[in-house]
């Protein structure tokens, strides 16, 4: 028998879950809500899921732990101090759980949350890996401000102690398996540019390299940026426990009902790529490419709003449903895009490249530049006279948007495409800048 750690990635959220087994018996760490991916991975490896380990009550996605436990009969392991509305196998610091030939050691690791746990897996009598959730990430740490301002200072100090103790106590060759840190807003800062690592690689981690905890707190808090508004709903949903998502085809609405929803100002979202949307779209709709789901739709859309999805390909609707279910947005409706664009009013706007914007921006111009990057990105460098309205603040600040022609840009074009559709729906004259300082011609 050998130790196998299989990574189950959720790139749309910047998270990873893990299927760990000895060739026969398996456990899962921090499963996503769409548990069919986990079940399929276990079936492919021919193993039986015996236990499910949660490192913490997640703030960025809906856990699939409860649903996976119900589907497989596996024990759901969580901190005994977590306030949950369903039964778990409660554990505390120092506990040991045997899963087949594997032994899992429980370590208290507060910082990302107060009750955060890490799990060290032992095989053949030696520690081989540590599942660190939102504590120790590759070259950085999990953010510490998600539980409110009053908790942040203490959590940051706890995070410093947690990471230092993990690096101090575990052998340098032990593999590190974080849940966050792959584009997740749960990361405190940009981490190291690596997809895997060991305890020995973390000597340059700021928590390890900074011996003064006060200095660490100051640096970490100064580097924190905004995080998605939907995070406020994830903790309560995870404490309540959600069932496995229903990923059957979305309910269809006819053209008349679609028109009524658009006229009522509801959230009707076109999932096509930005070029197709700019070339022709239904007036009153918004453009979120599937790569912008679920983070930016979840960030901008008022929680609980009714959602209607439009796409030329039914597979895009299914993909969007799956991604949105990860943050608890379930059972959106769908409508036929091709028929609708033949029946309802359509609009269009221009697309230009970022290089063109830079050339014109240095000369006298008749248009205004709207930079929809976050404030920290804008302050790090921006075009002269560009007006900064971060995408996640745009809907609440439409009254601050100037009249006239607006050229909208971000770091790569992805956020700008959303912003351009928001502004077009509000009857502004927009030009979408496709590309940006991070990707000149995305």
Condensed to tens digits (0 to 9), the pLDDT of residues 266-276 reads 999 999 999 99
Query: Binning pLDDT at 50, 70 and 90, where does residue 292 land?
Result: confident
Beta bridge partners of 346: 282
Give the contacts of 209 (CB within 8 A, at least 6 positions apart). Answer: 203
Please say whether the beta carbons of 352 and 369 come within 8 A. Answer: no
User: What pLDDT is recorded for position 127?
Assistant: 98
Mean model confidence pLDDT for the chain: 95
Q: Is the pLDDT confidence value at 216 over 70?
A: yes
For 18, 183, 202, the CA distances from 193, given in Å and listed in that order, are: 20, 11, 12
3-state helix, strand, coil in the chain (%, to 5): 35, 25, 40
Average pLDDT over every residue of 418-432: 98
Q: Sign of dihedral through CA atoms 82, 136, 64, 316?
A: positive
Q: pLDDT digits over 189-199, tens only?
A: 877 778 899 99
Q: Model's pTM, two decimal places? A: 0.94
Domains of the chain as residue ranges with CATH: 4-240 (3.60.15.10), 251-345 (3.40.250.10), 350-434 (3.40.250.10)
């Amino acid at each position: 028998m050998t130790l196998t750690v299989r990574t189950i990635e959720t790139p749309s959220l910047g998270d990873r879950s893990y299927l760990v087994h000895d060739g026969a018996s398996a456990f899962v760490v921090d499963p996503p809500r769409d548990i069919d991916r986990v079940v399929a991975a276990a079936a492919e490896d021919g193993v039986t899921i015996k236990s499910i380990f949660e490192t913490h009550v997640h703030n960025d996605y809906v856990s699939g732990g409860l649903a996976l436990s119900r589907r497989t009969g596996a024990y759901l392991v969580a901190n005994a101090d977590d306030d949950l509305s369903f039964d778990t196998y409660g554990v505390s610091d120092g506990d040991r759980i045997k899963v087949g030939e594997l032994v899992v050691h429980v370590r208290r690791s507060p910082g990302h949350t107060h009750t955060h746990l890490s799990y060290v897996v032992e095989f053949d009598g030696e520690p081989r890996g540590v599942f660190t959730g939102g504590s120790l990430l590759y070259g950085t740490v999990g953010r510490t401000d998600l539980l409110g301002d009053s908790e942040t200072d203490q959590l940051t100090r706890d995070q410093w102690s947690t990471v230092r103790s993990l690096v101090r106590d575990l052998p340098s060759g032990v593999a590190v398996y974080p849940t966050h840190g792959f584009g997740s807003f749960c990361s405190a800062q940009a981490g190291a540019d690596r997809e895997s690592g060991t305890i020995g690689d973390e000597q340059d981690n700021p928590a390890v390299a900074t011996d003064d905890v006060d200095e660490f707190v100051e640096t970490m808090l100064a580097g924190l940026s905004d995080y998605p508004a939907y995070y406020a709903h994830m903790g309560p949903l995870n404490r309540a426990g959600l069932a496995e998502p229903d990923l059957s085809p979305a309910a269809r609405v006819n053209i008349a009902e679609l028109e009524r929803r658009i006229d009522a100002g509801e959230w009707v979202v076109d999932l096509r790529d930005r070029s197709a949307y700019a070339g022709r779209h239904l007036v009153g709709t918004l453009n979120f490419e599937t790569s912008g789901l679920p983070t930016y739709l979840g960030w901008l859309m008022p929680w609980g709003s009714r959602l209607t999805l439009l796409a030329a390909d039914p597979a895009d609707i299914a993909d969007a449903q799956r991604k949105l279910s990860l943050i608890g947005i379930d059972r959106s409706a769908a409508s036929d895009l091709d028929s609708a664009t033949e029946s309802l009013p359509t609009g269009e706007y221009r697309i230009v490249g970022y290089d063109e914007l830079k050339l014109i921006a240095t000369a006298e111009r008749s248009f205004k530049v709207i930079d929809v990057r976050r404030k920290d990105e804008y302050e790090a460098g921006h075009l002269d006279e560009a007006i900064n309205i971060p995408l996640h603040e745009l809907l609440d600040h439409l009254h601050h948007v100037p009249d006239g022609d607006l050229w909208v840009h971000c770091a790569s074009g992805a956020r700008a495409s959303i912003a351009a559709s928001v502004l077009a729906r509000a009857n502004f004259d927009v030009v979408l800048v496709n590309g940006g300082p991070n990707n000149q011609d995305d």
